[in-house]
Structure 1
Amino acid sequence: MTLEEAAQVTSVVVDVAFRDEDMTDFPFFEVRFDRCTFSNCAFDGARFGDARFTNSRFVECSFRDAKLQSCTFYDPDLDSGSNWQRCDLSHATFRKCNLRANAITNTKAFLLSLAECDASASTLHLEVQRRVAASRSVTGGIICARTKLYEAVLKERDWEGSRFEYCDLRGADFRDGNFFGVSFANSNLNNARFDRANLSEANIAHADIDGLDLTLMRSFDGITVSRAQHDQILANFNIRSAN
């Protein structure tokens, strides 16, 4: 069965491996895949609507410029997500998608966009800058808006240029990451971990910051905060303000 044939069936496609298939600009609507593997498949520019990929693996697949709306990559019965390895999600857009508990590792994600998605408990090991030479890269980042990243793992990565705005980032693991100039405006950062992270020039204005300890960060020079956060920020240094 080819991937194009599988996209036409109305039943769930189970335990099929697809390899080296070019599905550029192809429409995937209301498709159902379970325990399938996709290796070296091209989904560039493809459009996905209400598609389900449960317990599936994507290995060295390209989703450049793909648009995914209301898609699910999570199995609630097994509480397990799908697995992505060495893929390319550059310029892809996920809107209202369920990426809960997904493991996305060693994957390019230059200007990836997540809007109103659930990526809670996910692992995002992404390359969000574009390398143009051995010693030079173009700053990109990812754009996350109104997305759940509760207890997600985003540690030890370079997130410069990214935006995590109006997001649920409670308990997320950002340790040892570079967040230079990143915006967390209006997000919930309660108990997020930023040990040894660089937040210089970052924006945390109007974010919930209970449990946020600036003293554990590598740097926070030029960080932007809102007036209502002043007392919480000063408490990090055991400083009290007088009325």
Structure 2
Amino acid sequence: MSRTVLSSLTVSLVLMTGTAHAAAGDPETPHRRLEIAGDCQGCDFSDKNFAGARFIGADLREADFSNSHLPGATLIESRFSHADLSDASLASAHISGVTFAGADLSFSQLAGGQFERVNFSNADLSSAAFNGAVMIQVAFNHAELDDASLVGVRVRYGRFIGADIADANFSNSNLRGADFSDSEGDGISFAGADLSGARFVNADLDDVDFTGARLDRVDFSGAQIDGAHGIEKTMILRACGDDNTRILGELRLPACPERSDDPHPPAPPIIVSHVRLEASPATDIQIDWDEVYTARVEALEALGDVLSTNAGRMDSEELREIVREAQREIREIEREIRRNRQELEREAAEHARALALEQVERRREVELEMHERARQRTEELDELFDIQHDHPRSHIEMYYGDTELLGVNPGAGDPDN
């Protein structure tokens, strides 16, 4: 099994020249064992096929991935800030500890992906599709999400602060605890979504569909939501607001519990852990998964701080459910880390075995070549000996190789000489 590992020096050279078709961008050839690490800022990977590839610890700021194919790709602890991923396909991608801050992901396909500790702040995600994605600790602060599709997504600790969500579709999504404070836009759909515990503080929205949505404990303080439809008074009995809240005409919501001066309460930070990459002839690449594991567990353990902050607004059953869900997430992450470590160890062992077999085969080829040359030399000498024996005074000339002329028994005393 062969693997291609591109270092900081070879990322651009291999992918941008025609000398190595393993990553030359043939859209018909998926790169399911391609691994990319290192620094390649501003590189041009547009229209390339990276299906199933792994980007680990890569710095690809301002790189061009427009119209590229990355379905099933894995992006770990990497930077794509201000990169161009417009019209790129990242369906079913696994993305962890990655920043896309300021990147262009307009019209990109990210459906079915898994996102953990991902930063989309200030990114252009207009008309992007996240349908069915699972997200933990994802920031869309001040991002452009106009006409984006997030149908059926599951979000834990999502921040959409100051985002433009015009014509965005969040229907049938789990958005519990999501923060839409200061967001703006019209033509938004939250139909069938679970918005329990979400925040719309100072949001400025118009023509919003809340049909069938769950709005328990939603904070509408200062929110201006004109044209809210599909919403019934019974749906917001447990929601809260303040004197500046405008929703459903003159309806007044109960005051929200007092909070700190910070309008956005603490949430688990998006932690980008350090990943150590080492090159060696035997294994090509080694990842300190213990550090990744520690960072992930620390991120999820930060749930305790959030629970403490918001305990007064939750009942005991809700607290227990959140704790159980956090424990399930931690167990799943532990299993994933073990699987990743085992896969890397298995691939490293296979690569070492392949390298050893290649060396053995090369030695065998060299030995056979030397043996063949020795046999030919022996035959030549035997033939020469036989001729000398039969014609001791004859003038004999022969070529050895392509350049050397040997005179054998040049006929000393031969009358013709």
Q: How many residues align?
A: 219
Confirm whether residue 23 of structure 1 aligns to residue 45 of structure 2.
yes
Distance 1:72 1:232, change over 3 A: same
Cα distance in 2, alignment partners of residues 161 and 238 from structure 1: 26
Equivalent of residue 89 in structure 1, options 92, 96, 105: 105
Confirm whether residue 105 of structure 1 aligns to residue 126 of structure 2.
no
Distance 1:40 1:234, change over 3 A: closer
Match of 1:181 in 2: 187
Moved more, 230-239 or 178-187: 230-239
Normalized against structure 2, the TM-score is what? 0.49
Distance 1:170 1:195, change over 3 A: same
Distance 1:49 1:238, change over 3 A: closer
Distance 1:125 1:149, change over 3 A: same
Q: Is the 8 A contact 1:31 1:51 kept in 2?
A: yes
Match of 2:140 in 1: 124
User: For 1:53, what is the secondary structure of its paired residue?
Assistant: strand
User: For 1:22, what is the secondary structure of its paired residue?
Assistant: coil
Confirm whether residue 73 of structure 1 aligns to residue 95 of structure 2.
yes
Cα distance in 2, alignment partners of residues 110 and 230 from structure 1: 33
User: For 1:149, what is the secondary structure of its paired residue?
Assistant: strand
What pairs up with 1:40-79 in 2 under 5 angstroms? 40-74=62-96
Q: Is the 8 A contact 1:41 1:62 kept in 2?
A: yes
Q: Is the 8 A contact 2:34 2:50 kept in 1?
A: no
Q: Kindly, what percent of the aligned residue pairs are identical?
A: 21
1:67-109: CA deviations, max 9, x gaps? 11211111xxxxxx21112210011110211122201222112
Return the offset for 1:141. Answer: 3.1
Match of 1:10 in 2: 33
What pairs up with 1:156-167 in 2 under 5 angstroms? 156-167=162-173
Cα distance in 2, alignment partners of residues 44 and 238 from structure 1: 46
Return the offset for 1:170. Answer: 0.4
Return the offset for 1:160. Answer: 1.6
Confirm whether residue 219 of structure 1 aligns to residue 224 of structure 2.
yes
1:18-49: CA deviations, max 9, x gaps? 12222222111221121111022111111112
Q: Is the 8 A contact 1:39 1:60 kept in 2?
A: yes
Q: By percentage of residues, which structure has more strand?
A: 1
Cα distance in 1, alignment partners of residues 32 and 194 from structure 2: 42
Amino acid in structure 2 at the alignment position of 1:87: A
Distance 1:65 1:19, change over 3 A: same
* Greater Rg by CA: 2
What pairs up with 1:225-240 in 2 under 5 angstroms? 225-226=230-231, 229-233=232-236, 237=252
User: For 2:205, what is the secondary structure of its paired residue?
Assistant: coil
Moved more, 171-180 or 183-192: 171-180
Cα distance in 1, alignment partners of residues 86 and 36 from structure 2: 24
Normalized against structure 1, the TM-score is what? 0.81
Cα distance in 1, alignment partners of residues 49 and 34 from structure 2: 17
Cα distance in 2, alignment partners of residues 166 and 90 from structure 1: 23
What pairs up with 1:133-144 in 2 under 5 angstroms? 140-144=146-150
The RMSD of aligned alpha carbons is: 2.3
Q: Is the 8 A contact 2:111 2:130 kept in 1?
A: yes
Return the offset for 1:208. Answer: 1.3
Cα distance in 2, alignment partners of residues 122 and 182 from structure 1: 20
Higher relative contact order (CA 8 A, sep 6+): 1
Cα distance in 2, alignment partners of residues 108 and 205 from structure 1: 28
Query: Could you list the runs of 5+ residues in structure 1 that have no partner in the other structure?
Result: 75-80, 130-139
Query: Could you list the runs of 5+ residues in structure 2 that have no partner in the other structure?
Result: 1-9, 24-30, 240-251, 255-417
Q: Is the 8 A contact 1:109 1:126 kept in 2?
A: no
Confirm whether residue 151 of structure 1 aligns to residue 160 of structure 2.
no
Cα distance in 1, alignment partners of residues 108 and 90 from structure 2: 8
Distance 1:235 1:117, change over 3 A: closer
Q: By percentage of residues, which structure has more helix?
A: 2
Amino acid in structure 2 at the alignment position of 1:10: R
Cα distance in 1, alignment partners of residues 127 and 238 from structure 2: 36
Confirm whether residue 38 of structure 1 aligns to residue 60 of structure 2.
yes
Cα distance in 2, alignment partners of residues 40 and 164 from structure 1: 29
